[in-house]
Amino acid sequence: MDRARVIKDTPEEWQVTATTTPFRGNKTSVRTDDVVMPDGAVVRRDYQVHPGSVAVLALDADDRVVVLRQYRHPVRHKLWEIPAGLLDVPGENPLHAAQRELYEEAHIKAEEWRVLTDVYTTPGGCDEAVRIFLARDLSEAEGRRYEVSEEEADMEHARVPLSELVRGALAGELHNNCLVVGVLALAAARSPALPGGLDALRRAEAPWPARPFEA
């Protein structure tokens, strides 16, 4: 590989000659674009349009991660996950959304927040962007617990050692995208191979070009 090459994703937008929206759902929709390829051919691409999401890897003083177990109908599984939720309001500050989700799903607050990583979940068929936060210095939230319903009514809660989640992800026992990416990213961030450790992670209000937001 060319040592001078910078390995970094870059924005680019190919010409679209036609667009339709054959399906609109409550939170997402399906869009069909006719896209001009580099050789001049025009091909049709169908993809899900998604508002974006946030997820929270909440790490306690005993190096345990706050996880939830929830039924996910499309894959017919109960999955262990980290607290997460949609960016329901256009331009919503993702840190505020993450703090809300941690409160609603786990009744926890955190004093220290950093950006762990940003990902596109399935860029071949969906434009969903997720910002995964690292939350530390945890404590019980004040006030009444958030009332849950539907799939969340059957939700289980646990605190699991980070090392056990890393093992489970690599063994193929854990499959939720945000959980797997989050625990492996945290393990990598604490590796001696990366100078600075967790202090080198981006601040919680770092820009997010995939989902621009108001400060």
Residues serving a catalytic function are: 152
Provide the angle, in degrees to the nearest 10, between the axes of the packed helices 177-189 and 162-170. Answer: 120
**DSSP character for 59?**
B
The span from the CA of 114 to the CA of 133, in Å, is: 6
CA distance 3 to 46: 36
Q: In whole angstroms, how far apart are CA 58 and each of 29, 149, 214?
A: 31, 23, 24
Q: How far is CA 74 from CA 2, 38, 71, 77, 138, in A?
A: 42, 35, 9, 8, 32
Q: Distance between CA 153 and CA 143 in Å, rounded?
A: 19
Tell me the residue type at 184: L
Name the 3-class secondary structure at 103.
helix
